[in-house]
Structure 1
Amino acid sequence: MPYAPADTPQDAAAFIKSQVRTIPDWPMAGVQFRDITPLLQRPKTLRVLIDLFIERYVEAKLDYVAGLDARGFIIAPIVAYELNIGFIPIRKIGKLPYKTVSESYALEYGTATVEIHEDACGAGDRVVILDDLIATGGTMMAGKKLLERLGAVVVEGAAIIDLPDLGGSKLLRENGLPLFTVTEFGGH
Protein backbone atom coordinates (compact mmCIF):
# COMPACT_ATOMS: atom_id res chain seq x y z
CA MET A 1 0.00 0.00 0.00
CA PRO A 2 1.58 3.31 -0.97
CA TYR A 3 1.75 6.16 1.49
CA ALA A 4 2.48 9.82 0.86
CA PRO A 5 3.27 12.33 3.66
CA ALA A 6 0.19 14.41 2.80
CA ASP A 7 -2.12 11.50 3.56
CA THR A 8 -4.21 11.42 6.74
CA PRO A 9 -3.13 9.74 10.00
CA GLN A 10 -5.71 7.02 9.24
CA ASP A 11 -3.92 6.29 5.96
CA ALA A 12 -0.61 6.22 7.79
CA ALA A 13 -2.00 3.76 10.36
CA ALA A 14 -3.31 1.50 7.58
CA PHE A 15 0.10 1.67 5.91
CA ILE A 16 1.83 0.68 9.17
CA LYS A 17 -0.59 -2.21 9.71
CA SER A 18 0.06 -3.47 6.18
CA GLN A 19 3.78 -3.66 6.96
CA VAL A 20 3.51 -5.75 10.17
CA ARG A 21 4.48 -9.35 9.51
CA THR A 22 2.37 -12.10 11.09
CA ILE A 23 4.17 -15.32 11.99
CA PRO A 24 1.74 -18.14 12.75
CA ASP A 25 2.37 -20.58 15.60
CA TRP A 26 5.30 -18.69 17.11
CA PRO A 27 6.56 -18.97 19.79
CA MET A 28 3.96 -21.72 20.32
CA ALA A 29 1.07 -23.31 18.46
CA GLY A 30 -1.97 -21.07 18.15
CA VAL A 31 -0.11 -17.78 18.62
CA GLN A 32 -0.10 -15.26 15.78
CA PHE A 33 3.12 -13.32 16.46
CA ARG A 34 2.99 -9.71 15.22
CA ASP A 35 6.51 -8.92 14.06
CA ILE A 36 7.45 -5.22 13.90
CA THR A 37 10.91 -5.74 12.41
CA PRO A 38 9.71 -4.96 8.85
CA LEU A 39 8.67 -1.52 10.16
CA LEU A 40 12.25 -0.93 11.27
CA GLN A 41 13.95 -2.23 8.14
CA ARG A 42 12.43 0.25 5.71
CA PRO A 43 13.36 3.92 6.23
CA LYS A 44 10.03 5.17 4.89
CA THR A 45 8.00 2.89 7.17
CA LEU A 46 10.07 3.80 10.22
CA ARG A 47 9.68 7.52 9.44
CA VAL A 48 5.89 7.21 9.02
CA LEU A 49 5.66 5.32 12.33
CA ILE A 50 7.78 7.81 14.26
CA ASP A 51 5.90 10.74 12.71
CA LEU A 52 2.60 9.33 14.00
CA PHE A 53 3.94 9.43 17.57
CA ILE A 54 5.55 12.84 17.10
CA GLU A 55 2.32 14.29 15.74
CA ARG A 56 0.50 12.89 18.75
CA TYR A 57 2.90 14.26 21.39
CA VAL A 58 4.59 17.34 19.91
CA GLU A 59 2.39 19.73 21.92
CA ALA A 60 1.85 17.51 24.99
CA LYS A 61 4.50 19.26 27.13
CA LEU A 62 6.16 15.98 28.08
CA ASP A 63 9.33 15.57 30.10
CA TYR A 64 10.10 11.96 29.19
CA VAL A 65 9.22 8.99 27.05
CA ALA A 66 9.54 5.72 28.99
CA GLY A 67 10.30 2.62 26.93
CA LEU A 68 9.40 -0.88 28.06
CA ASP A 69 11.94 -3.67 27.76
CA ALA A 70 12.64 -4.85 25.13
CA ARG A 71 10.94 -3.72 21.92
CA GLY A 72 9.77 -0.46 23.48
CA PHE A 73 13.49 0.41 23.59
CA ILE A 74 13.56 0.50 19.80
CA ILE A 75 10.94 3.20 19.24
CA ALA A 76 10.85 5.19 22.50
CA PRO A 77 14.36 6.71 22.32
CA ILE A 78 13.74 7.84 18.73
CA VAL A 79 10.48 9.51 19.77
CA ALA A 80 12.19 11.13 22.78
CA TYR A 81 14.98 12.42 20.54
CA GLU A 82 12.53 13.88 18.03
CA LEU A 83 10.57 15.56 20.86
CA ASN A 84 13.81 16.84 22.43
CA ILE A 85 13.03 15.22 25.79
CA GLY A 86 14.57 12.48 27.92
CA PHE A 87 14.20 8.71 27.66
CA ILE A 88 13.56 6.42 30.64
CA PRO A 89 14.27 2.69 30.34
CA ILE A 90 12.00 0.32 32.23
CA ARG A 91 13.89 -2.96 32.25
CA LYS A 92 13.49 -6.56 33.24
CA ILE A 93 14.85 -7.27 36.71
CA GLY A 94 18.62 -7.25 37.13
CA LYS A 95 19.45 -5.18 34.03
CA LEU A 96 19.85 -1.69 35.51
CA PRO A 97 23.13 -0.83 37.28
CA TYR A 98 21.99 1.81 39.78
CA LYS A 99 19.51 1.70 42.69
CA THR A 100 16.12 0.57 41.44
CA VAL A 101 12.46 0.35 42.29
CA SER A 102 10.70 -2.81 41.07
CA GLU A 103 7.19 -3.98 40.27
CA SER A 104 6.06 -7.56 39.69
CA TYR A 105 3.07 -8.55 37.58
CA ALA A 106 1.25 -11.68 36.50
CA LEU A 107 1.84 -13.47 33.22
CA GLU A 108 -0.25 -16.27 31.76
CA TYR A 109 2.05 -18.79 33.45
CA GLY A 110 3.91 -17.14 36.31
CA THR A 111 5.15 -13.67 37.12
CA ALA A 112 7.68 -11.15 35.82
CA THR A 113 9.34 -8.10 37.34
CA VAL A 114 10.43 -4.80 35.83
CA GLU A 115 12.60 -2.10 37.34
CA ILE A 116 13.36 1.58 36.98
CA HIS A 117 16.20 3.65 38.40
CA GLU A 118 15.01 5.37 41.56
CA ASP A 119 16.07 8.74 40.15
CA ALA A 120 14.68 8.24 36.63
CA CYS A 121 12.13 11.03 37.04
CA GLY A 122 10.64 13.19 39.73
CA ALA A 123 7.42 14.54 41.12
CA GLY A 124 5.23 16.12 38.48
CA ASP A 125 7.27 14.97 35.48
CA ARG A 126 4.98 14.23 32.54
CA VAL A 127 5.69 10.87 30.93
CA VAL A 128 4.33 8.74 28.09
CA ILE A 129 4.99 4.98 28.27
CA LEU A 130 5.79 3.42 24.89
CA ASP A 131 5.93 -0.21 23.79
CA ASP A 132 5.58 -2.17 20.59
CA LEU A 133 2.42 -4.03 21.53
CA ILE A 134 -0.31 -4.27 24.16
CA ALA A 135 -1.38 -7.85 24.85
CA THR A 136 -2.43 -8.57 28.45
CA GLY A 137 -1.29 -5.13 29.64
CA GLY A 138 0.83 -6.39 32.55
CA THR A 139 4.11 -4.81 31.54
CA MET A 140 2.61 -1.40 30.79
CA MET A 141 0.60 -1.46 34.02
CA ALA A 142 3.76 -2.28 35.98
CA GLY A 143 5.57 0.58 34.22
CA LYS A 144 2.73 2.97 35.08
CA LYS A 145 2.92 1.96 38.75
CA LEU A 146 6.69 2.43 38.86
CA LEU A 147 6.55 5.89 37.31
CA GLU A 148 3.75 6.96 39.63
CA ARG A 149 5.69 5.73 42.67
CA LEU A 150 8.46 8.11 41.62
CA GLY A 151 5.89 10.92 41.46
CA ALA A 152 5.52 11.16 37.68
CA VAL A 153 2.27 11.95 35.91
CA VAL A 154 1.71 9.22 33.34
CA VAL A 155 -0.02 11.12 30.56
CA GLU A 156 -0.70 8.15 28.29
CA GLY A 157 0.35 4.67 27.30
CA ALA A 158 1.23 4.21 23.64
CA ALA A 159 1.96 1.24 21.41
CA ILE A 160 2.26 0.38 17.77
CA ILE A 161 -0.15 -2.55 18.03
CA ASP A 162 -3.11 -3.38 20.27
CA LEU A 163 -4.36 -6.96 20.60
CA PRO A 164 -7.74 -6.07 22.14
CA ASP A 165 -8.96 -9.68 22.35
CA LEU A 166 -6.30 -10.33 25.02
CA GLY A 167 -7.85 -7.68 27.28
CA GLY A 168 -4.80 -5.56 28.03
CA SER A 169 -6.05 -2.30 26.59
CA LYS A 170 -9.33 -2.68 28.47
CA LEU A 171 -7.47 -3.40 31.72
CA LEU A 172 -5.21 -0.38 31.28
CA ARG A 173 -8.09 1.98 30.52
CA GLU A 174 -10.09 0.64 33.48
CA ASN A 175 -7.08 1.46 35.65
CA GLY A 176 -6.98 5.06 34.51
CA LEU A 177 -4.38 4.93 31.74
CA PRO A 178 -5.43 6.63 28.50
CA LEU A 179 -4.07 4.76 25.48
CA PHE A 180 -2.96 5.56 21.96
CA THR A 181 -2.25 2.74 19.56
CA VAL A 182 -1.43 3.02 15.88
CA THR A 183 -3.24 -0.14 14.82
CA GLU A 184 -4.85 -3.31 16.16
CA PHE A 185 -5.17 -6.95 15.26
CA GLY A 186 -8.03 -9.17 16.37
CA GLY A 187 -7.38 -12.64 17.78
CA HIS A 188 -4.15 -13.70 19.41
Structure 2
Amino acid sequence: MTDTTNAISAELIESIRTIPNYPKEGVLFRDITTLLSNPRAFRRAVDALVQPWAGSKIEQVAGIEARGFILGGAVAHQLSAGFLPVRKKGKLPFKTLQQDYQLEYGMDTIEIHCDAVKQGEKVIVVDDLIATGGTAEAAVKLLRSAGADVVAACFIVDLPELQGRAKLEALDIPVRTLVEFPGH
Protein backbone atom coordinates (compact mmCIF):
# COMPACT_ATOMS: atom_id res chain seq x y z
CA MET A 1 0.00 0.00 0.00
CA THR A 2 1.14 3.51 -0.73
CA ASP A 3 1.12 6.27 1.88
CA THR A 4 -1.91 7.79 0.12
CA THR A 5 -3.77 4.47 0.21
CA ASN A 6 -2.92 4.07 3.90
CA ALA A 7 -4.18 7.58 4.65
CA ILE A 8 -7.44 6.94 2.80
CA SER A 9 -7.93 3.59 4.56
CA ALA A 10 -7.26 5.16 7.95
CA GLU A 11 -9.74 7.96 7.22
CA LEU A 12 -12.41 5.49 6.13
CA ILE A 13 -11.85 3.23 9.16
CA GLU A 14 -12.17 6.24 11.47
CA SER A 15 -15.44 7.23 9.81
CA ILE A 16 -17.12 3.83 10.34
CA ARG A 17 -18.91 3.33 13.64
CA THR A 18 -18.66 -0.03 15.38
CA ILE A 19 -21.70 -1.18 17.36
CA PRO A 20 -21.01 -4.11 19.69
CA ASN A 21 -23.52 -6.95 20.09
CA TYR A 22 -25.71 -5.97 17.13
CA PRO A 23 -27.73 -7.63 15.67
CA LYS A 24 -26.83 -10.34 18.16
CA GLU A 25 -24.45 -10.98 21.03
CA GLY A 26 -20.80 -11.25 19.99
CA VAL A 27 -21.17 -9.41 16.67
CA LEU A 28 -19.37 -6.12 16.00
CA PHE A 29 -21.64 -4.34 13.51
CA ARG A 30 -19.73 -2.04 11.11
CA ASP A 31 -22.09 0.89 10.55
CA ILE A 32 -21.26 2.90 7.42
CA THR A 33 -24.01 5.50 7.99
CA THR A 34 -21.39 7.61 9.76
CA LEU A 35 -19.15 7.36 6.67
CA LEU A 36 -22.08 8.32 4.43
CA SER A 37 -22.79 11.43 6.51
CA ASN A 38 -19.15 12.56 6.31
CA PRO A 39 -18.84 14.32 2.92
CA ARG A 40 -15.07 13.84 2.61
CA ALA A 41 -15.10 10.15 3.61
CA PHE A 42 -18.11 9.42 1.38
CA ARG A 43 -16.43 11.07 -1.61
CA ARG A 44 -13.13 9.27 -0.97
CA ALA A 45 -14.90 5.92 -0.70
CA VAL A 46 -16.84 6.41 -3.93
CA ASP A 47 -13.75 7.65 -5.77
CA ALA A 48 -11.75 4.64 -4.56
CA LEU A 49 -14.49 2.20 -5.62
CA VAL A 50 -14.71 3.81 -9.08
CA GLN A 51 -11.00 4.27 -9.75
CA PRO A 52 -10.12 0.82 -11.21
CA TRP A 53 -12.98 0.97 -13.71
CA ALA A 54 -12.85 4.59 -14.83
CA GLY A 55 -12.89 4.58 -18.63
CA SER A 56 -13.61 0.86 -18.92
CA LYS A 57 -17.15 1.20 -20.29
CA ILE A 58 -19.05 -0.33 -17.41
CA GLU A 59 -22.70 -0.31 -18.50
CA GLN A 60 -24.53 -1.11 -15.25
CA VAL A 61 -23.79 -0.94 -11.54
CA ALA A 62 -25.84 -3.46 -9.55
CA GLY A 63 -26.43 -2.23 -6.01
CA ILE A 64 -27.51 -4.76 -3.39
CA GLU A 65 -30.35 -3.64 -1.12
CA ALA A 66 -30.12 -1.40 0.86
CA ARG A 67 -26.80 0.36 1.48
CA GLY A 68 -25.61 -0.91 -1.88
CA PHE A 69 -28.25 1.35 -3.41
CA ILE A 70 -26.59 4.43 -1.93
CA LEU A 71 -23.08 3.44 -2.94
CA GLY A 72 -24.10 1.87 -6.24
CA GLY A 73 -25.98 4.98 -7.32
CA ALA A 74 -22.95 7.16 -6.63
CA VAL A 75 -20.60 4.73 -8.39
CA ALA A 76 -22.94 4.47 -11.39
CA HIS A 77 -23.07 8.27 -11.64
CA GLN A 78 -19.28 8.54 -11.59
CA LEU A 79 -18.94 5.83 -14.27
CA SER A 80 -21.76 7.25 -16.44
CA ALA A 81 -23.41 3.84 -16.09
CA GLY A 82 -26.95 2.75 -15.37
CA PHE A 83 -28.03 1.63 -11.91
CA LEU A 84 -29.60 -1.78 -11.41
CA PRO A 85 -31.25 -2.51 -8.03
CA VAL A 86 -30.85 -6.01 -6.61
CA ARG A 87 -33.81 -6.28 -4.26
CA LYS A 88 -35.27 -8.59 -1.68
CA LYS A 89 -38.14 -10.76 -2.92
CA GLY A 90 -41.45 -9.00 -3.51
CA LYS A 91 -40.11 -5.43 -3.76
CA LEU A 92 -40.00 -5.01 -7.56
CA PRO A 93 -43.22 -4.19 -9.45
CA PHE A 94 -42.50 -5.84 -12.83
CA LYS A 95 -41.67 -9.43 -13.84
CA THR A 96 -38.55 -10.63 -12.07
CA LEU A 97 -35.74 -13.14 -12.14
CA GLN A 98 -34.92 -14.66 -8.75
CA GLN A 99 -32.01 -16.29 -6.98
CA ASP A 100 -32.29 -18.13 -3.68
CA TYR A 101 -29.40 -18.19 -1.24
CA GLN A 102 -28.55 -19.66 2.14
CA LEU A 103 -28.77 -17.60 5.32
CA GLU A 104 -27.38 -18.61 8.69
CA TYR A 105 -30.83 -19.99 9.55
CA GLY A 106 -32.87 -20.65 6.41
CA MET A 107 -33.11 -19.25 2.90
CA ASP A 108 -33.75 -15.89 1.30
CA THR A 109 -34.33 -14.65 -2.26
CA ILE A 110 -33.12 -11.67 -4.25
CA GLU A 111 -34.60 -10.38 -7.50
CA ILE A 112 -33.97 -8.14 -10.48
CA HIS A 113 -36.40 -7.10 -13.18
CA CYS A 114 -36.36 -9.57 -16.07
CA ASP A 115 -35.27 -6.77 -18.44
CA ALA A 116 -32.75 -5.12 -16.07
CA VAL A 117 -29.67 -6.17 -18.02
CA LYS A 118 -28.93 -6.91 -21.66
CA GLN A 119 -26.92 -9.90 -22.84
CA GLY A 120 -23.20 -9.22 -22.41
CA GLU A 121 -23.55 -5.91 -20.54
CA LYS A 122 -20.58 -5.18 -18.29
CA VAL A 123 -21.79 -4.98 -14.69
CA ILE A 124 -20.12 -4.24 -11.36
CA VAL A 125 -21.79 -5.43 -8.13
CA VAL A 126 -21.63 -2.94 -5.23
CA ASP A 127 -22.50 -3.23 -1.54
CA ASP A 128 -21.26 -1.72 1.69
CA LEU A 129 -19.72 -4.83 3.23
CA ILE A 130 -18.77 -8.39 2.41
CA ALA A 131 -19.01 -10.85 5.27
CA THR A 132 -19.98 -14.44 4.42
CA GLY A 133 -20.57 -13.45 0.80
CA GLY A 134 -23.91 -15.23 0.42
CA THR A 135 -25.88 -12.26 -0.89
CA ALA A 136 -23.11 -11.07 -3.20
CA GLU A 137 -22.61 -14.60 -4.55
CA ALA A 138 -26.36 -14.84 -5.22
CA ALA A 139 -26.29 -11.44 -6.97
CA VAL A 140 -23.47 -12.56 -9.27
CA LYS A 141 -25.30 -15.80 -10.13
CA LEU A 142 -28.55 -13.92 -10.74
CA LEU A 143 -26.91 -11.33 -12.98
CA ARG A 144 -25.06 -13.98 -14.93
CA SER A 145 -28.28 -15.94 -15.43
CA ALA A 146 -29.76 -12.76 -16.91
CA GLY A 147 -26.84 -12.53 -19.37
CA ALA A 148 -24.63 -9.96 -17.63
CA ASP A 149 -20.86 -9.97 -17.84
CA VAL A 150 -20.10 -9.39 -14.15
CA VAL A 151 -16.63 -7.85 -14.18
CA ALA A 152 -16.10 -7.16 -10.46
CA ALA A 153 -17.61 -6.76 -7.01
CA CYS A 154 -16.82 -3.74 -4.82
CA PHE A 155 -17.30 -3.19 -1.10
CA ILE A 156 -16.13 -0.62 1.38
CA VAL A 157 -15.64 -3.15 4.19
CA ASP A 158 -14.27 -6.68 4.16
CA LEU A 159 -14.58 -9.03 7.13
CA PRO A 160 -11.91 -11.50 5.92
CA GLU A 161 -12.41 -14.02 8.73
CA LEU A 162 -15.86 -14.81 7.28
CA GLN A 163 -14.31 -15.63 3.86
CA GLY A 164 -16.95 -14.00 1.66
CA ARG A 165 -14.32 -12.82 -0.80
CA ALA A 166 -13.37 -16.45 -1.49
CA LYS A 167 -16.94 -17.24 -2.63
CA LEU A 168 -16.77 -14.52 -5.26
CA GLU A 169 -13.24 -15.34 -6.32
CA ALA A 170 -14.35 -18.97 -6.80
CA LEU A 171 -16.76 -17.54 -9.40
CA ASP A 172 -13.83 -15.72 -11.08
CA ILE A 173 -15.04 -12.33 -9.82
CA PRO A 174 -12.33 -9.82 -8.88
CA VAL A 175 -13.14 -8.28 -5.49
CA ARG A 176 -12.26 -4.73 -4.47
CA THR A 177 -12.52 -3.71 -0.83
CA LEU A 178 -11.27 -0.53 0.79
CA VAL A 179 -10.83 -1.50 4.44
CA GLU A 180 -10.74 -4.64 6.56
CA PHE A 181 -11.95 -5.25 10.08
CA PRO A 182 -11.21 -8.31 12.21
CA GLY A 183 -14.01 -10.43 13.60
CA HIS A 184 -17.60 -10.83 12.63
Note whether the superposition's TM-score is higher than 0.5: yes
| Equivalent-residue separation in structure 2 for 1:172 and 1:54 (angstroms) | 19
Q: Structure 1 runs of 4+ off > 3 angstroms?
A: none
> What displacement does 1:171 show?
1.7
| Equivalent-residue separation in structure 2 for 1:182 and 1:156 (angstroms) | 14
Match of 2:118 in 1: 122
| Equivalent-residue separation in structure 2 for 1:105 and 1:116 (angstroms) | 14
Q: Over aligned residues, Cα RMSD in angstroms?
A: 1.1
Q: Taking every aligned residue pair, what percent have the same amino acid on both sides? A: 47
Match of 2:23 in 1: 27
Q: Is residue 54–residue 79 contact of structure 1 (8 Å, CA) maintained in 2?
A: yes
| Equivalent-residue separation in structure 2 for 1:179 and 1:92 (angstroms) | 22
Q: Which runs of 5+ in 1 are unaligned?
A: 1-6
User: Is 2:61 the partner of 1:104?
Assistant: no
Q: Which runs of 5+ in 2 are unaligned?
A: none
Match of 2:8 in 1: 12
Matched residue type, 2:113: H
Report the secondary structure of 2:173's partner residue: coil
> What displacement does 1:175 show?
2.3
> What displacement does 1:42 show?
1.3
User: Is 2:179 the partner of 1:180?
Assistant: no
| Equivalent-residue separation in structure 2 for 1:43 and 1:110 (angstroms) | 38
Q: Is residue 164–residue 170 contact of structure 1 (8 Å, CA) maintained in 2?
A: no
Matched residue type, 2:128: D
User: Is 2:82 the partner of 1:86?
Assistant: yes
Task: Count residues with an aligned counterpart.
Answer: 182
> What displacement does 1:90 show?
0.4
> What displacement does 1:56 show?
2.1
1:99-156 CA distance string (max 9 Å, x none): 0000000011111100000100111100000000001111111110111111110000
Match of 1:133 in 2: 129
Match of 1:37 in 2: 33
1:9-55 CA distance string (max 9 Å, x none): 33212211121111000111000000001111111111111111222
TM-score by length of 1: 0.93
| Equivalent-residue separation in structure 2 for 1:186 and 1:179 (angstroms) | 18
Q: Is residue 49–residue 176 contact of structure 2 (8 Å, CA) maintained in 1?
A: no
